Amino acid sequence: MSDDTAELEARLAAQDSFEPPSSFVEQANASDPAIYDEFEAEWPECWRAAADLLDWESPYDTVLDDSNPPFYEWFTGGSLNASANCLDRHLDERGSSVAIEWIGELGETRTYTYEALHREVNEFAAGLRSLGVEEDDVVTMYMPMVPELPIAMLACARIGAPHSVVFAGFSAEALTTRMESAGSEYLITCDGYYRRGDPLEHKGKSDDGVAGVDHDVTSVVVDRLEDAYDHPMADDEHDYDELVADHAGETVAPVSRDAEDMLFLMYTSGTTGQPKGVKHTTGGYLAWTSWTSQNVLDITPEDTYWCSADIGWITGHSYIVYGPLALGTTSVMYEGTPDYPEKDRLWEIVEEYSVTQLYTAPTAIRAFMKWGEEYPAGHDLSSLRLLGTVGEPINPRAWKWYYTHIGNEACPIIDTWWQTETGGMMVTTLPGVGTMKPGSAGPPLPGVDVEIVDVSGEPVEAGQAGYLTVQKPWPGMLRTLYQNDERFIEEYWAEYSDVDSDDPDDWVYFPEDGAKLDEDGYITVLGRVDDVINVSGHRLGTMEIESAIVGVEGVAEAAVVGGNHDVKGQAVYAYAITEEGAEEGKELESAIISGVEDAIGPIARPEAVVFTPELPKTRSGKIMRRLLEDIANDDELGNTSTLRNPEVVEAIDQKVNAD
Ligand code: PRX
């Protein structure tokens, strides 16, 4: 560290709040603090402001229908099409402006103007129709960051077929479960992709996933690897390029969708082993992602905005595809990893494309810090106007590093708390309005009613920790879990609501996060309070991982916990009990690791596997994960007095943390 840097870091370390730079405030889309009071006074009518950002085919007559909580409906009576909002309406004014700037892993690029994107979305929509896809059919997509993914999403939106994108890093088994659960008869996949310059085959995994599905599946295959990988095509598989060529020049009228019609499904992890199919709608979701893109990401059509998430997760859906394109901006899409070919790859892209906003995850920022400030320092990053983070808590040190070394102390940082279920951002400062406090996401957005409560649902005092709750509905909220209203209520509402009541005031949404409130109403999110682990900002259910481990021959029982990890935030630590006669050791450990990779994907790969004769359990037989976490983190062990077998904790601790 140079003397200058040391001095700077010492100065910043002492500072716990930052004002947004006046140069930013002067041009910000939202800069009037009165917005908080106005939205509160006018709730729920305030959300007309979000709906007004969209083009409606027929106007809505009610902003919020709360007659049947928690099945809230927004902008009822209105109809619109998401693809028309992201494409058609921009053609006159900015048809030749860039919609998607795609940067491939091998350094190749593809630039889609709004006109070009509109053309290909239409052709592919026509292609999908020719394969039999009809309105309301769920189309699954299993692809990495190739342009065909957002094209396919928008083509589905155009014909009113909800999409269900499965992260390409997930396993074949995960694909099967999601296709089965959604009754999805169509799949858009690819032959493979590039990682660190090498081709990586994907189709085999995709085929295995389809083979597990009980019903017939028609597939479209994107030929990303071209000559680098030859694969046969079955009768029910169609080549993407050929399909588009067959429909060259065709247009498909956007199907008029009711505001409450499903736009997409996204499966996410929860407390039980079975992933949850989160249902988002056309009107509310698109209004929410557009409004937050405008007021939090500060997007204008003139920007070159970059969200470095993967479209396989909700962040990519909301803030690479729908929000930015609805606002007519240029959205950058990067296929590769941040350290290939060199550790300055992101900064090279920011410089080359004059990126104006960068939205990334704390796990990435921690990696950048580890690599060193010389990588960003070698590039001109002065085009940046705003920085954002999402997915997990960011510690003040990482925040300040981001602020200084990437933002040059000239960009506000938005630390945005939200989840798959909320559709878009919920808690964050408005960058043109609020003081920033590193480590704290900030106040809830205007019109968003978040309260931190104790176990009995009473608001906690400033300075206290409690559970984050959302007390009023919002347009971007999930409407239900696909074909499972009962689980929807059970998972999100039962904790703090009177589930027999028809009064919306009695219904409180519980996102399963712990949080702390300060005297200014700022919220610091502490992390999940359910059995969900957040690895590099990706949500994994402990139950899913445990059932994969127990599925391995030789394993009788397993428990997994999230232990602290420098870069990933949390990593998976697995504890396993062997079956009678099975041998503990390297071989079984490898079988467990590949068992998890096969069932879920490499992101869930355990960092360590510990064999133990017993797991710590309460008298009622519940595994005490808290103690296993203490062991994984080499922390002082918590209270063991309620355990049936307290001696086992000491034994495991000895084994893991012997030195
Ligand atoms: O625990 C919270 C954490 O990520 C969870 C949601 O994960 P997912 O549905 O995959 O969506 C991630 C992208 C929105 C939350 O329940 N989380 C998300 N953002 C933050 C966060 N934790 C702390 N600070 C954040 N800014």
pLDDT grade for 9, boundaries at 50, 70 and 90: confident
Question: Tens digit of pLDDT for each residue in 344-363?
Answer: 999 999 999 999 999 999 99
CA distance 58 to 78: 5
Taking the CA of residue 415 as reference, the ligand 1 atom at the shortest distance is: 26
pLDDT of 6 over the 90 cut: no
b/e burial code for range 498-531 (CB count within 10 A of at least 16 → b): eeeeeebeebbbbbbbebbbeeeebbbbebbeeb
Helix (H) / strand (E) element for 377: namely: helix 374-377
Closest by Cα among 447, 411, 417 to 431? 411
Taking the CA of residue 512 as reference, the ligand 1 atom at the shortest distance is: 16
Q: What is the DSSP letter of 322?
A: I
Q: Candidates 267, 322, 417, 542: which one to mutate for ligand 1, based on the most atoms within 8 Å of Cβ?
A: 417
Taking the CA of residue 313 as reference, the ligand 1 atom at the shortest distance is: 10
3-state SS class at 556: strand
CA distance 286 to 48: 13
Taking the CA of residue 528 as reference, the ligand 1 atom at the shortest distance is: 1
| Average pLDDT estimate for 104-114 | 95
CA distance 369 to 400: 11
Q: Does residue 393 have its Cβ closer than 6 Å to ligand 1?
A: yes
Backbone angles phi, psi at 271, to 5 degrees: -70, -35
Burial class, 8, CB count within 10 angstroms (exposed 0-12 / middle 13-18 / buried 19+): middle
Question: Tens digit of pLDDT for each residue in 502-522?
Answer: 999 999 999 999 999 999 999
Output the CA 331–ligand 1 centroid distance in Å: 22
Q: Which tokens sit at 339?
A: 């350290």
The angle that helices 148-159 and 114-130 make with each other, rounded to 10 degrees, is 60
C-beta separation of 563 from 573 below 8 A? yes
C-beta separation of 332 from 302 below 8 A? no
Q: What is the DSSP letter of 458?
A: P
Query: Atom 15 (ligand 1): residue with closest C-alpha?
Result: 419
Backbone angles phi, psi at 152, to 5 degrees: -65, -40
CATH topology of domain 535-658: GMP Synthetase; Chain A, domain 3 (3.30.300)
Q: Where are the domains of the chain?
A: 535-658
Question: Tens digit of pLDDT for each residue in 550-568?
Answer: 999 999 899 999 999 999 9
**Can you list the alpha helix ranges (DSSP code H) found in 201-322?**
203-211, 240-246, 282-295, 314-316
> What string of H, E and C letters represents the secondary structure of 158-201?
HHCCCEEECCCCCCHHHHHHHHHHHCCCEEEEECEEEECCEEEE
Closest by Cα among 460, 442, 459 to 508? 459
pLDDT grade for 456, boundaries at 50, 70 and 90: very high
Q: Does residue 416 have its Cβ closer than 6 Å to ligand 1?
A: yes
Output the CA 33–ligand 1 centroid distance in Å: 26
Say which residue, 107 or 468, is predicted with more confidence: 468
pLDDT at 659: 63
What mean pLDDT is reported for the chain?
Answer: 95
CA distance 421 to 416: 14
Q: Candidates 360, 392, 491, 531: which one to mutate for ligand 1, based on the most atoms within 8 Å of Cβ?
A: 392
CA distance 132 to 185: 10
| Average pLDDT estimate for 210-227 | 96
Q: Which tokens sit at 118?
A: 């509109």
Taking the CA of residue 526 as reference, the ligand 1 atom at the shortest distance is: 23
CA distance 67 to 581: 60
Q: Does residue 525 have its Cβ closer than 6 Å to ligand 1?
A: yes
Closest by Cα among 184, 172, 112, 175 to 148? 112
Residue appearing with tokens 């300060």: 518
pLDDT at 641: 82
CA distance 635 to 659: 14
Residue appearing with tokens 């659960």: 181
C-beta separation of 616 from 628 below 8 A? yes
**CA distances for 309 relative to 61, 119, 253, 539, angstroms:** 36, 26, 31, 14
Q: Which amino acid is at 334?
A: Y
Ramachandran class of 132: left when φ > 0, alpha when ψ lies in -120 to 50, beta otherwise: left
Say which residue, 58 or 544, is predicted with more confidence: 58
pLDDT at 429: 98
3-state SS class at 435: coil
Neighbours of 288 (CB within 10 A): 31
Query: Atom 13 (ligand 1): residue with closest C-alpha?
Result: 391
Preceding omega of 446 cis (within 30 degrees of 0): no
Question: Tens digit of pLDDT for each residue in 629-652?
Answer: 999 999 998 888 888 898 989 889
> What string of H, E and C letters represents the secondary structure of 590-616?
HHHHHHHHHHCCHHHCCCEEEECCCCC
C-beta separation of 129 from 113 below 8 A? no
Residue appearing with tokens 């481990």: 549
Burial class, 617, CB count within 10 angstroms (exposed 0-12 / middle 13-18 / buried 19+): middle
Output the CA 361–ligand 1 centroid distance in Å: 10
Q: Candidates 513, 522, 538: which one to mutate for ligand 1, based on the most atoms within 8 Å of Cβ?
A: 513
Percent of the chain whose predicted confidence (pLDDT) is above 70: 99
Query: Atom 11 (ligand 1): residue with closest C-alpha?
Result: 419
pLDDT at 640: 85
| Average pLDDT estimate for 513-533 | 93
C-beta separation of 562 from 574 below 8 A? no
Q: Does residue 390 have its Cβ closer than 6 Å to ligand 1?
A: yes
pLDDT at 7: 78
pLDDT grade for 222, boundaries at 50, 70 and 90: very high
Q: Does residue 427 have its Cβ closer than 6 Å to ligand 1?
A: no
Q: Which amino acid is at 537?
A: G
Q: Does residue 527 have its Cβ closer than 6 Å to ligand 1?
A: yes
Q: Which amino acid is at 311?
A: I
Q: Does residue 415 have its Cβ closer than 6 Å to ligand 1?
A: yes
pLDDT of 1 over the 60 cut: no
pLDDT of 342 over the 90 cut: yes
Question: Tens digit of pLDDT for each residue in 24-35?
Answer: 999 999 999 999
pLDDT of 186 over the 70 cut: yes
Question: Tens digit of pLDDT for each residue in 400-443?
Answer: 999 999 999 999 999 999 999 999 999 999 999 989 999 999 99
Closest by Cα among 371, 336, 394, 361 to 538? 361
Q: Does residue 528 have its Cβ closer than 6 Å to ligand 1?
A: yes
Residue appearing with tokens 């299993």: 142
Pseudo-torsion of CA 32, 15, 437, 313, nearest 10°? 120
